[in-house]
Amino acid sequence: MSLVLAVNAGSSSLKISLFRRTADNAANPALLLSSSTSSIFAPPAKFKFSFVAPQHRSLNEVVDSIHDHASAFRHFLDRLKEEASIDPIDIKHIAHRVVHGGDYISPVIISEESYHHIKRLSDLAPLHNGSALSVIESAIKALPHAKSIAFFDSAFHKDLPIHVATYAINQQVAQERGLKKYGFHGLSYAFILQAVAAHLNKAPDTVNIIALHIGSGASMCAIRNGQSIDTSMGLTPLSGLPGATRAGDIDGSLIFHYTSRSPARMSHDPSISKEVKVTEAEDILNFKSGWKALTGTADFKEITEKADMGTLSDATDPNTLAFRIMLDRILHFAGAYHLALHGDVDALVFAGGVGERSAELRRAVGEAAACLGFAVIDETKNGQVNDEEGIIVDIGSGDGRKRMLVCHTDEQLEMARECSLANEFWV
């Protein structure tokens, strides 16, 4: 038997799925089980294990011993051993989501060289690459016979137009140091593109969409003819939209006025992995900002429940303000991407933990986007979106040419598919 374990280390979560691959189903490996650990840095962490085959069953627990991605992965392996009748020797491949690939634009097998390449980039994705590496190390120790392969979020954006990817700074310095827009959430955007193309019955390279991946990390992407032509994250996953603990776009000078100490001093916050070297400035903007700084919680559901939708245009209380800021920044990029696509847009697509679950955020975006010719959101459909409804749910009322869609994105399945289809990994 040939199994692929796909591991997705997000900034607040660890999502893992196990697939069976056969020559017949290479493009669509069969899901056997999945697991997700959420609230990793807002303890206690919540762990979920769902078996799909041979029978449906799930297990939910609150686990005090999980305090980072490596301990979440160890907990998953323990449960796998205890609960699933899987022989670990059958796991031939472990696909790891790595957010920043730098100039790696295709998946790579983990070797001394690729490991160090990813490690060098940790400072450019302080919430991600270090966590992914800690999981890669645990995986190699626990399953030494399996091939570990890194799949990069940044790869989907490799063909960004040069004027989009280039910052207006000294170009010699930019080139020497690789200072350009990379963009992230690419595995999710690749999945969304395929899913929307299938839903619309179009070839992926003819699809134009504005995609929103809104989770603890939030970004947007303009996709023209199946290619990323702009995205809101940049050199690092900090820029663009605010996130749970990330500031999003700010005036670069702000940081010098924010901290009385030198922003370039190294941060010694014990909650940040020692693997990752971050300055005070990066610590503040990546770990101590975002909705959590505005409201005290990283949970967007709680913010939405407390926000007063009636006073959105004049938000003063912290939850309403946080919701309004998110909406404002999303509309900013939606307008820009609509122009970048010359108004020729098949759909606006919501994905990610917030995008898939917050009917309120979708409603607010939809109300504003209707003026661009997007379908008016059908409130019954919008309120009923749930994970069981299939990969794509059309929440539009059907009266607009441009669709309003929700996509249950699946970065693990995207990696398993890419892994399964790439012959070089199977030799």
CB of 159 to ligand ADP, least distance (A): 25
Per-residue binder mask for ligand ADP (CB under 6 A), 228-247, x = binder: ----------------x---
Please indicate whether residue 153 is annotated as part of the active site.
yes
CB of 125 to ligand UVW, least distance (A): 7
CB of 298 to ligand UVW, least distance (A): 11
CA distance 97 to 354: 20
Size of the site for ligand UVW (CB under 6 A): 10
Residues in the chain: 427
CB of 351 to ligand ADP, least distance (A): 8
Closest by alpha carbon to 395, among 376, 368, 419, 370? 376
Binding residues: 8, 15, 97, 213-217, 411
CB of 217 to ligand ADP, least distance (A): 5
Among residues 99, 155, 229, 370, which is the contact residue for ligand UVW, using CB under 6 A? Answer: 99
The residue among 151 and 184 lying less far from ligand UVW, judged by its C-beta, is 184
Question: Interface with ligand UVW includes 299 (CB under 6 A)?
Answer: no
Are 16 and 6 contacting, i.e. CB atoms less than 8 angstroms apart?
yes
Q: Which does 231 bind (CB under 5 to 8 A by kind): ligand UVW, Mg ion, ligand ADP, none?
A: none
Question: Interface with ligand ADP includes 354 (CB under 6 A)?
Answer: yes
The residue among 213 and 224 lying less far from ligand UVW, judged by its C-beta, is 213
Question: Interface with ligand UVW includes 217 (CB under 6 A)?
Answer: yes
Among residues 38, 134, 138, 216, which is the contact residue for ligand UVW, using CB under 6 A? Answer: 216
CB of 177 to ligand ADP, least distance (A): 27
Question: Interface with ligand ADP includes 10 (CB under 6 A)?
Answer: yes
Q: Which does 357 bind (CB under 5 to 8 A by kind): ligand ADP, Mg ion, ligand UVW, none?
A: ligand ADP
Question: Interface with ligand UVW includes 185 (CB under 6 A)?
Answer: yes
CB-based contacts of 316-324 (< 8 A; 24+ apart in sequence): 318/294, 319/295, 321/294, 322/291, 322/294, 322/295, 323/360, 323/361, 323/364
The residue among 139 and 298 lying less far from ligand UVW, judged by its C-beta, is 298
Size of the site for ligand ADP (CB under 6 A): 18
Query: Active site residue: 64, 87, 90, 153, which one?
Result: 153
**Scanning residues 119 to 158, which ones bind ligand UVW (CB under 6 A)?**
153
Q: Which does 153 bind (CB under 5 to 8 A by kind): ligand UVW, Mg ion, ligand ADP, none?
A: ligand UVW
The residue among 9 and 222 lying less far from ligand ADP, judged by its C-beta, is 9
Are 181 and 164 contacting, i.e. CB atoms less than 8 angstroms apart?
yes
The sheet with strand 392-394 has its strands ordered as: 227-231, 218-224, 209-214, 347-351, 403-407, 392-394
Structure tokens at 398: 């059907």
CA angle (69, 126, 79) in 5-degree steps: 5
Closest by alpha carbon to 132, among 64, 179, 72? 72
CB of 414 to ligand UVW, least distance (A): 13
Q: Which does 227 bind (CB under 5 to 8 A by kind): ligand UVW, ligand ADP, Mg ion, none?
A: none
Q: Which does 298 bind (CB under 5 to 8 A by kind): ligand UVW, ligand ADP, Mg ion, none?
A: ligand ADP
Binding residues for substrate: 97
Q: Which stretch binds ligand ADP (CB under 6 A): 11-19, 90-98, 148-156, 317-325?
A: 11-19
Question: Interface with ligand ADP includes 357 (CB under 6 A)?
Answer: yes
Which residues contact ligand ADP (rule: CB under 6 A)? 10-13, 215-217, 244, 298-301, 304, 352-354, 357-358
Which residues contact ligand UVW (rule: CB under 6 A)? 10-11, 99, 153, 184-185, 215-217, 237
Catalytic residues: 153
